[in-house]
Structure 1
Amino acid sequence: MQTAYNPTWDLDVIFPGGSNSEAFHTYVQNIRKEVTALEAQIDAYTPARGVENNQELADIISQLEATSKKMREAGAFVSCLSAQDVKDEKANLLVGERSALKAEMDGVRTNFKQKLAALDEETWEALLRSRELSELSFVLNEYRQQAKEQLSVKEEVLINDLEVDGYHAWNQMYGTIVGKMEVELEEDGEVKSYSVGQASNKLSNPDRNVRKTVAEKLDEAWSEQADLFGQTLNHLGGFRLQKYKHRGWDSVLKEPLAINRMQKETLDAMWTAITNNKQHFVKYLNKKAEMLGLEKLSMYDIGAPISKSVKTYSYTEGADFIVENFRDFSPQMADFAKMAFEKRWIEAEDRAGKRPGGFCTSFPDSEQTRIFMTYSGTSSNIATLAHELGHAYHQHVMNDVNGLNQGYAMNVAETASTFAEMIVADASVNNAQDKEEKRALLEDKVKRSVAFFMNIHARFLFEQRFYDERKKGMVSVDRLNELMVDAQKEAYNDALGEYDPNFWSSKLHFHITGVPFYNFPYTFGYLFSLGIYAHAKEKGGSFEDDYIALLRDTGSMKVEDLAQKHLDVDLTKPDFWENAIALCVSDVEEFLSL
C-alpha cells in the first residue's frame, strides 16, 4: 500500500528557518549588491557607441536575467511565508521589504528600457540580428516600446518609489485585514471560529440552511470591514488612474491588455461570443434551481452540490487521481506532478491561520515551484489542485529558457492551469460509477463554465464601471455595492434571485496591484485551453511535444501570434471563441438530458 502524501510543503529545502532564515537574509543582501552593480553598469552604458559595442549590452542583459531570477526567487519565498501563516509578523515585514527591493529593481529596469529606446533604428535592428541578442528580440522590442510610452526615467523611478508606501501598501493593508478576519459558526452545538477562507469552503455544503447561514455570516464580516476596503480600493484605483493620466494613457484597459500581450479586438471577440451564448447557461441555472426546489438560485447556491451525499477524497486519493489522468495526455506532466507530491512542493493542509485562496509560485533560481491551497476533499478541491499543478508544469518546461523569455502573461498562464484542470474534470465524468455521480460531476464542469462566463464577466464589468466613476472622485461603499449588483445582474442575465453586493470587498483580485483587471485573463485561459484540449484529442499520442513547444513560446510571443503558430486560428475573429464555447454548451445539454 502506498504511503500517504504529506499535505504540507517543504520550504526549508530552499531557505531553512522560515521568516527567521539567515540563508534568506544573506540571499537578499546579495541581490541588493547585484541591483546596485547593475544600476552602475546600465548608467555607464552609452547607446550612441553603436553596434560594435553589442557585447557590453549583452553583458548587461545577462546580468539583468540573473538578478531578475533571484528577485523572483526571493519574492516567491516571501509569498509562501505570508500565505502559510497570516499571523507571522516577520513574514509581513518581509512583504514590505520585498516591495521596496522590487521598486529599486523596477527603477533599474526602467533606466535600461530608456537606454534601449535611445538607440537609432538602424543600430537597433543590427543589435537584434547579433548572435547574443537574437533569441531575446521579442522581449527587447517590448522593453523599447514600453519606454516610448512612459515618462522620463526620473519620473518613472519616482513613481516606483512612491508605489511602495502608496499603491502597493493598500494591497498589503487589505491582506493584513483579511488575514485577521474570523467567522463564528455553530457546529454540533458548539461555536467555532474559522478564517474567511475556511468558512467560504462551506458554501459547497449540500444543506441550504448551512449555506445560507455561512453566506450571511460572511456578509456580516465583509460588511463590517467595508469602510476600510472601500478606502483600499479607492486609493489604489486612484493611484493607478493618476499614473495613467500623467503618462497620457486614456484607457484603463491599455495596461492589462499590454501585460497580457493581446489586442482589444481579441478581448471584444471573446466577450461577444460569450454574451451571444449565455442563454444556454441560464437554462442550466434555472434547471438547478428547480432541482434544489427553488424559484431562483441565490449567489450562495451556485456552488451547491445537486447530490445530498457529497463524495470526498483523501489528499493522497486526489493526488493519485490527478497523476493517473495526466498520464493519458502527457507522461511528462504526470511524472512532474508525482514528483511535486513526493517532494512536498504543495501546501494543502486544512487549518486555520492560512490565507484564503490558492496560487502557484515559481522559484526560478532553484528550478522549483510551490503550490498553496486548502484541501478539504471535494472534487472541486481536486480540480483546484490540478489547476495549480498545470501552472507548476508550465514553469517546469521553461526552466532552461532564458529568464527574460520566461515572463509569460497571466492569460497564457491560466491556459496551462485550466488545461490541466480540464483533463481531471473530464476524467472524473468518464469514471463516474452511476448516473447520479456522472450528473454531479458534469454539473461541476458546467459550474466552471458559469464561473468563467458569468462570474468573471461580472468582475470585468464592475471594474470598468468603477474606474469610470473613480475618475470623477471617491466612490462610496453604497455605490460600490450598487455597481457590483448591477454587474452581477447583467453578467448572469438576471437569472438569480439574490446577489452579493459585498463581492467587491471579499474578492482579493480587485485589490491586487501587481496586475490590473485580474479577471478577463482567466476566461481567456479557459477558452484558449479548450481549443488546445480539442487539438490534443485530435492529435493523440503526438500531442505532448506540441504542447511543450506552445508553452515554451508563451513568454516571447503575442497571444494572437501564439494561436496562429500552434493552432492555426485567428483570435480576433469570433469563430475560435464560438467553437470553444460550443464544447461547454454540449456539457450543459448533456447535463440537462441526464
Structure 2
Amino acid sequence: MATIPRWDLTPIYPALSSEQFKADLKEVVLLANGLEKDLGSPSCNIEEAVYAYERILDYLENLSAYSSCLLSTETGNPDFLKAVNQVEQEALVVQRLEVSFLNFLKRHEQEVHQLAGEGEPLCAYRYVLSELLEEQEHLMEPALENLASDLARSGTDAFSRLQEAISSSATSEDGSGSKTVVQLRNEAFHPDRDVRKEAFEKELSVWKTHEVAFAASLNGIKGTTLTLDKERGYASPLDRALKQSRIGPEVLTALITTLEKNLPMFRGYLKAKAKALALESCAFYDLFAPVGTGGKTYTFSEARSFIIDQFSLFSEDMGLFAKKAFSNNWIDAEPRKGKVGGAYDTSFPLARQSRILSNFDGSFNALSTLAHELGHAYHDSVVLSQSNLLRSYPMTLAETASIFSEYVVFQGAISACSADERLTLIEHFLQDTTQVCVDILSRFYFESSVFEKRAEGALVAEELSALMVEAQKRSYGDALSVYHPYMWAVKGHYYSSDLSYYNYPYAFGQLFALGLYAQKEKDGSIFATKYRSLLEKTGSTSAQKVALILDCDITSEKFWQEGMDIIASYAQEFAHASDH
C-alpha cells in the first residue's frame, strides 16, 4: 500500500513551542478580559460587542483545535496533554465572558431585536441572537456558571479524556503478541469468522479490564449533566439536546417513529446476510463481515483519486476542495499506537482550513470514511467565510454534508462495477445504514435509560452493560444472536456533558442526505448550487427552515420514509441476491 499520510499542522502554528501559539494564547485572554470590561459599560456598542465576541471565539477555536489535533495523534505525549489543559484553562475566561455576553444581550434585549430587524446591521443574526437570548434564560447565576466551568476541567472534561486515552492505548496481550483495541476492532472486517470472533472476545476482555474506570467516567459525566441541566431549567438532557440540534420534539418523534417502523426491514437484511455467510444468525462480530468476493482494496493514492473524481462529477467546487485537502496534507490517515481510533474533522477559523483524522486500512469502508470527513470539511469551507455565530451549525445538520458525500462516492462506485462488486458495495451501504439507523437507535435507547437510572443513583459496569444489551435487543431484535455489552465504553460520544444524545443526529443526517440526493435526481445540474446554498444557511437558522430551502418537511414521517425507501430498495436487492 502506498504511503499513508500524516497531516501537516505547521500552517496553523509552526510548533507548539512557537511564539505565534503563545501569543494567541495571551491574545484570547486579553481580548476576553477587555470585552468583559466593556460589556459592563453603559456606552458599550452592541454591534461592536457581537463582532468582538466572535473574534474571541475564533481565537479559542483555533487554539483548541490545534492542541486537540496534537493530542489525538499522540495521546501519551505529556506536552500535548499540557497544551490541551492550558487551552482549557484560558477557555475558562471565555466561558465566563459567554455568561457576561448573554446577560449583556438580555439587558439590551429590545435594542438587540431592533438591530436584528429587516435592513438593520445585525439582520443576518436575527435567529442566532434570539437563540442566545433564549439560552440566557437557562443560565444559572454568573458565579455558579463560572464555578461549573472551572470544575468541568477536573471533572467531566477529565473523564472524557480518560475514556479517550484508555480506548486509544489499551492493548490485548497474549502469546501471539500485542494489539491495541483499535486494531482488534478493525478485525471486525476480516473475512474469516474465527478471526472476527477471537478479536471480538479479546476486545471485550480489554473493555472488562478497564470497566471500572469507564463506569466511573460515565457516571460522573451523566450525573453532572443531570444536575446542571436541572439547575439551568431544562426539562431533561434531551430537552437541551433538541435545542442544541435546532429541532423541535415533533421532528425527533417523526424521525424515531420512522426508524422503529423500519426495523423489520433492517432485521430482514441481517437475516439475509446470515444466509449469505452460511450462518444460522449473525453475531455482533458479523455486522461488518464482508459478503461476496468483490471486495476491492485501495491504496491511499487510489482512494484519493476516486474521491476527487466522484466529488468533481457532482460539483466542480467540491472536487477542487477535496484536491486541496489531499494536496496540502490536511489528512492524517495512518493508523498507529497512541492515536485515537475512528475519524473526525476539525476546522481552524483563523487559518480558514480544516484537518481530518482517520485510520485508513485500504477497505472501501475506509475510503467511505474519508469521503464522510471530507464532507464535513467541505461544509466547513462553505461557512468559514461567514462570521463565527453565523457558521455554528447544529449536530443534526453537521452530519448531512458528510453522509451526502459518502453517498456520492457510493453511487460512483456502484455505477461502474461488476455484479459481484455490486453485491459487496450494496452490502457495505447496508452495513453503514444499519449502523446509522439501527445501532444509533440502540444508542438513543441506551442513553435514555442511563439518564433515567442515573437520576436514581450511580450505575456499576454490570448494570451499564445490561442496559446496553437491552437496548441492542430492542433495536436488532432476533437478527443478532450475540450482542456487544461494552459499546457504552467504546463510543466517545457518550462522554460529553455539553453534547448529550449525540446519536440521533446521525440518523437525521443519513435520511436527510438520502432525501436530498433524491432531490438531486429531480433538479439535475442546478442542484449542486442549491445544495451549497443550503449548507451556507446551516449556521444561521433552524434545521426545519434550512430543510425548507429544498422543500423538505422534516416534521413529517413521509419525508423520512422517502430516505428509508432508498435503503429498502437495496435491502430487497441484497435479499434477492442472497437467495440466489
Q: TM-score, structure 2 length as denominator?
A: 0.96
Match of 1:576 among 556, 559, 565: 559
- 1:474 is aligned, of 446, 453, 458, to 458
Distance 1:514 1:102 in 2: 15
**Alpha-carbon displacement from aligned partner over 1:227-264 (angstroms, at most 9, x marks no partner):** 11000000111111111222232222011111110111
Letter of the structure 1 residue corresponding to residue 32 of structure 2 = V
Partner Cα separation in structure 2 for residue 103 and residue 255 of structure 1: 22
Residue matched to 1:142 = 131
Q: Which amino acid aligns with 1:139?
A: V
Partner of 2:116: 128
Structure-1 residue corresponding to 2:374: 389
- Provide the rounded CA distance (Å) in 1 between the counterparts of 2:252 and 2:55: 34
Find the aligned partners of 1:21 and 1:207 in 2 and give their Cα distance: 49
Question: Quick check: 96-105 or 109-118, which moved more?
Answer: 96-105
For the 8 Å contact 1:194–1:352, the answer to whether it is kept is no
2:27 to 23, 26, 30: 30
| Deviation sequence 1:352-387 (CA, Å, 0-9, x none) | 221111000000110000000110100000000000
Deviation sequence 1:265-299 (CA, Å, 0-9, x none): 10110110111111111111001111212111111
* C-alpha distance after superposition, 1:60-99 (max 9, x if no partner): 1111111111111111101110111112111111222222
Residue 501 (1) aligns with residue 485 (2): yes
Alignment-mate amino acid for residue 360 of structure 2: Y
Question: Is 2:169–2:181's contact at 8 Å kept on the other side of the alignment?
Answer: no
**Structure 1 contact 87–179 (Cα < 8 Å) conserved:** no
Give the 3 Å change call, closer, same or farther, for CA 24–435 of structure 1 in structure 2. same
Residue in structure 1 matching 2:75, options 57, 70, 86: 86
2:207 counterpart residue number:
222
Looking at structure 2, the residues matched to 286 and 346 of structure 1 have their Cα atoms a distance apart, in angstroms, of 37
2:12 matches 1:11:
no
1:346 CA displacement: 0.3
Count of equivalent residues? 576
Alignment of 1:144-543 (within 5 A): 144-184=133-173, 191-307=176-292, 310-432=295-417, 434-543=418-527
- When residues 120 and 27 of structure 1 are mapped into structure 2, their CA distance, relative to the original with a 3 A threshold, is closer
Shift of 1:209: 0.6
**Which letter does structure 1 place at the counterpart of 2:23?**
T
Name whichever of 4-13 and 252-261 sits farther off. 4-13
Amino acid at match of 2:416: N
Give 1:89's aligned amino acid.
Answer: P
Between the aligned partners of 2:295 and 2:380, the Cα distance in structure 1 is 34
CA distance in structure 1 between the partners assigned to 2:268 and 2:541 by the alignment: 38
Q: Pick from 31, 39, 54: which aligns with 2:36?
A: 39
8 Å Cα contact 2:58/2:350 also seen in 1: yes
Per-residue CA shift, 1:156-189, capped at 9, x if unaligned? 2222222222221211222222233113477xxx
Query: Counterpart of 2:93?
Result: 104
Q: C-alpha distance in 2, partners of 1:38/1:24?
A: 21
What is the distance in 2 between the residues matched to 1:296 and 1:6? 37
Alpha-carbon distance between aligned partners in 1 of 2:329 and 2:76, rounded to the nearest angstrom: 23
Alpha-carbon distance in 2 for matches of 1:291, 1:262: 40
User: CA shift at 1:116, angstroms?
Assistant: 1.2
Q: CA deviation at 1:118?
A: 2.2
Letter in 2 for 1:104: V
Conserved in 2, the CA contact under 8 Å of 1:103 and 1:164? Answer: no
Write out per-residue CA displacement over residues 380-430 of structure 1, whole angstroms, 9 at most, x where no aligned residue: 000000000000000111121122101001210100000000111121112
Preserved contact between residue 512 and residue 518 of structure 1 (Cα < 8 Å): no
The residue number in structure 2 matching 1:548 is 532
TM-score (norm 1): 0.94
* Higher deviation after alignment, 289-298 or 382-391: 289-298
Question: 1:32, 1:101 within 8 Å by CA — same for their partners in 2?
Answer: yes
- Say which SS state the counterpart of residue 478 (structure 2) adopts: coil
Question: Does the 8 A contact of 2:168 with 2:337 survive in 1?
Answer: no
- CA deviation string 1:541-566 (max 9, x = no partner): 111210111001000111111112x1
After superposition, give the CA deviation of every residue in 1:507-530 in whole Å (9 maximum; x if it has no partner). Answer: 111113341111111111111111
Distance in 1, Cα, partners of 2:185 & 2:20: 36
> What is the one-letter code of the residue matched to 1:10?
D
Letter in 2 for 1:482: A
Q: Is the 8 A contact 2:295 2:421 kept in 1?
A: no
Structure-2 change in CA distance of 1:110 and 1:163 (3 Å):
same
1:381 to 1:271, Cα distance in 2 relative to 1, 3 A? same
Preserved contact between residue 294 and residue 423 of structure 2 (Cα < 8 Å): no
C-alpha contact (below 8 Å) 2:390/2:539 kept by paired residues:
yes
2:461 maps to a residue whose letter is: V
Structure 2 counterpart of 1:14, one-letter code: I
Q: Sort the Cα spacing of 1:213 and 1:309 in 2 relative to 1 into closer, same or farther, 3 A.
A: farther
Equivalent positions of 1:45-84 (< 5 A) are 46=42, 56-84=45-73
Structure-1 separation of matches of 2:206 and 2:14? 36
Partner-residue secondary structure (3-state), 2:354: strand
SS of the equivalent of 2:108 reads coil
Alpha-carbon separation, structure 1, partners of 2:519 and 2:553: 15
Any conservation in 2 of the 1:387–1:418 contact (CA below 8 Å)? yes
CA–CA separation in structure 2 for the residues paired with 1:228 and 1:152: 33
- Tell me, which stretches of 5 or more residues in structure 1 are unaligned? none
Gaps of 5+ in 2: none
Counterpart secondary structure, 2:205 = helix
Q: Report if aligned partners of 2:391, 2:539 keep a CA contact under 8 Å in 1.
A: yes
2:346 counterpart SS class = strand
Identity %: 32
Offset of 1:155 from its aligned partner? 2.2
In structure 2, what is the Cα distance between the partners aligned to 1:514 and 1:98?
17
Q: Give yes or no for contact 1:458–1:488 (8 Å, CA) kept in 2.
A: yes
The answer to whether the 8 Å contact 2:46/2:112 transfers is no
Which one of 92, 95, 107 corresponds to residue 84 of structure 2? Answer: 95
Contact 2:246 2:543 in 1 (8 A): yes
Q: 2:109 & 2:222 partners in 1: Cα distance? A: 37
Question: Which stretches of structure 1, 4 residues or longer, exceed 6 Å deviation after superposition?
Answer: none
User: Does structure 2 retain, via aligned residues, the 8 Å contact 1:104–1:160?
Assistant: no
Report the 3-state secondary structure (helix = DSSP H, G, I; strand = E; otherwise coil) of the residue aligned with 2:177: strand
